[in-house]
Amino acid sequence: MRGMDASTPSAAGLPFLKMHGLGNDFVVIDSRGRGVAAGGVTTPALARALGDRNRGVGFDQLAEIRDSDTADFALDFWNGDGSRAGACGNATRCVSALVMAGSGTGEVTLTTERGLLRAVRRNDGLISVNMGLPQTGWADIPLSREVDTLHLPLAGDPVAVGMGNTHCVFFVADAGAVDLPAVGPKWEHDPLFPQRTNVEFASVAGPDRLRMRVWERGAGITLACGSGACATAVAAHLRGLTGRRVALDLDGGTLEVDWREDGVWMTGPVAHVFNGTLSPAFLESVR
């Protein structure tokens, strides 16, 4: 799917794909080779309209593929509330798998707000992406003031980790018992997080296994979160709860995370569900 015939999306419609990684679902728009503006075709209004599961398509995040002079492609992420997302691990794996399938290669490079990243297809068919080094300094995450990021001054003693987006990780006895709709929005909008935050709840199942659930900034409850899995694995190791390589059981399935010297590698399956075209009338309605 490259160079789709939609150089004027409002007149010809706009092609897209639907993909998911462990039920963490995405609309993917490919702007490569179409002569669109450097920022791509997605706007906050289009993201909000597309993210509506009743009147649009519905997604946890939207990913737009763009041309890059320094990598195989560039990738931008949007939330359903129209805000930008700095990182999205499962969408990165999905799009990387798509580009690898189109080019017949087993490895790609891409650029996001995190910089230059690398993704590979393993021999077992799973897709791995290097999400970059974690951010653990309060200003880098970022937080609104200087605090101990390994023990935030919040009820529940969470950990703050940045993975290109902000994460607040709570370690609890039973992640499955957490009332995410009640507590997720509270922490997402806490004043300590100037850009809001993703919120993870994890329980330790063993020295190399965690059970994790997530409330995503701008999206709410999702079945899986790749950057959240990376942040949780980093937080667990920093707290001395696990090693650097762990399996995380999420509501949608299992991700593998390996914190190496060159970055945090995250591995899991991907699925391409269907292709579609947004109608000119729909696009005109969200201008």
Question: Which residues have a catalytic role annotated?
Answer: 88, 225
Residues whose CB is less than 8 angstroms from the CB of residue 24 and which lie 6 or more positions away in sequence, other chains included: 60, 61, 90, 91, 222, 223, 224, 225, 226, 252
Residue position matching structure tokens 């997720």: 184
Per DSSP, the residues of 82-125 read S-EES--HHHHHHHHHHHHHHHT-SEEEEEETTEEEEEEE-TTS
Residues paired with 248 in a beta bridge: 210, 255
Residues 163, 230 contacting (CB under 8 angstroms)? yes
Q: d(Cα 145, Cα 193) in Å, to the nearest integer?
A: 9
Residue 286 burial (C-beta neighbours within 10 Å; 0-12, 13-18, 19+): middle
Of 75, 69, 142, residue with least CA distance to 113: 75
Q: d(Cα 70, Cα 62) in Å, to the nearest integer?
A: 22
Taken in order 120, 127, 106, 27, is the CA torsion positive or negative?
A: negative
Residue position matching structure tokens 């001054």: 153
Of 75, 82, 81, residue with least CA distance to 28: 75
Q: Give me Rg for the CA atoms of the chain.
A: 18
Of 227, 205, 225, 230, residue with least CA distance to 215: 225
